[in-house]
């Protein structure tokens, strides 16, 4: 059965992905592969694999009867296993009052992959996190929704603020690092590829296709910034021949996956 792609019109902020896929599809057809293609601003449903903006792809997910996934953010595999989330590490200094055994409040952990303390916070702890975020002393992201409003999110991913000097996007397909692209900061500050490979190995519950953003911080260490499921993410010139398979593989895996409750992320 041929692959069927629905590409959002290039006139959108995610046009790079559409242009890149057009190049790949042209080559696939030239090499004898059959590919079904639709270019539109409205997802037609069926077996089409959507490629476009977050809004476009989320509409495709809902058309397929699925809700969008929660963001990967900093994968918990890189900073907090179940024991760490429940019991935490002992720290002194700022935010020490957040420490505690409660799995819903202020359990901090730090690994060589993060370079900073991290925690998931919910309930009354959210107020503490948001207050420090407003003061510029903590970084806070929604753990519920991609680009979600942190003030209305049920769970927050919280971390210390670090000084990123350069940020790089790593493209991963079935556990293999395919390419790394600098998207912010000093391109002369190359990341530690050994550390990146370790992160990929540790991230055992990763999707089949994803991006792993890493940064070189002021100490020279390479640490994780965040990860993204492989849809609606910037390519920054990535043109590996696996690109169509990455879109197709991720989409099919997503459709097969059972719906995850947000509460599951506190116990997995």
Query: Do 176 and 111 reside in the same domain of the chain?
Result: no
Question: Is 258 a domain residue?
Answer: no
Query: Do 144 and 169 reside in the same domain of the chain?
Result: no
Question: Is 190 a domain residue?
Answer: yes
Range of the domain at 184: 164-236
Question: Is 266 a domain residue?
Answer: no
Domain boundary among 63, 88, 108: 63
Query: Do 11 and 59 reside in the same domain of the chain?
Result: yes
Question: Is 250 a domain residue?
Answer: no
| DSSP-H helix ranges across 89-226 | 125-134, 193-202
Rg of the chain taking only CA atoms, in angstroms: 19
Q: In 10 A of CB 218, how many CB atoms?
A: 10
In terms of C-beta density within 10 A (0-12 exposed, 13-18 middle, 19 or more buried), how is residue 239 classed? exposed
Question: Is 260 a domain residue?
Answer: no
Question: Is 70 a domain residue?
Answer: no
Q: 43-65, pLDDT tens digit by residue?
A: 998 999 999 999 999 999 999 99
This prediction's pTM: 0.85
Partner residues linked to 170 by β-bridges: 180, 212
Query: Do 92 and 131 reside in the same domain of the chain?
Result: yes
Q: 76-121, pLDDT tens digit by residue?
A: 888 854 333 333 333 333 333 343 333 444 556 778 898 888 877 7
Q: How many domains does the chain have?
A: 3
């Amino acid at each position: 059965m041929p692959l069927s792609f629905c590409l959002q019109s290039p006139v959108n902020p995610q046009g790079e992905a559409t242009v890149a896929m057009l190049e790949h599809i042209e080559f696939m057809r030239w090499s004898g592969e059959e590919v079904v293609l639709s270019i539109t601003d409205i997802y037609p449903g069926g077996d089409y694999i959507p490629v476009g903006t977050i809004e476009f792809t989320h509409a495709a997910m809902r058309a397929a009867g699925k809700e969008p996934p929660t963001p990967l953010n900093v994968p918990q595999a890189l900073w907090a296993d179940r024991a760490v989330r429940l019991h935490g590490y002992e720290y002194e200094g700022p935010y020490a009052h957040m420490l505690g055994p409660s799995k819903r409040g202020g359990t901090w952990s730090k690994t060589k992959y993060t370079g900073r303390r991290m925690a998931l916070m919910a309930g009354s702890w959210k107020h503490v996190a948001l207050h420090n975020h407003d003061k510029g002393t903590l970084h806070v992201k929604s753990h519920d929704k991609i680009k979600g409003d942190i003030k209305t999110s049920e769970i927050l991913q919280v971390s210390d603020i670090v000084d990123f000097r350069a940020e790089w996007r790593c493209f991963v397909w079935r556990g293999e690092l395919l390419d790394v692209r600098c998207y912010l900061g000093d391109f002369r500050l190359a990341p530690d590829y050994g550390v990146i490979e370790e992160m990929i190995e540790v991230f055992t519950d990763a999707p089949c296709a994803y991006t792993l953003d890493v940064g070189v911080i002021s100490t020279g260490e390479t640490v994780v910034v965040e990860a993204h499921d492989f849809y609606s993410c910037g390519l920054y010139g990535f043109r590996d021949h696996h690109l169509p398979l990455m879109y197709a593989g991720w989409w099919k895996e997503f459709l097969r996956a059972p719906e995850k409750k947000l509460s599951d992320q506190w116990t997995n």
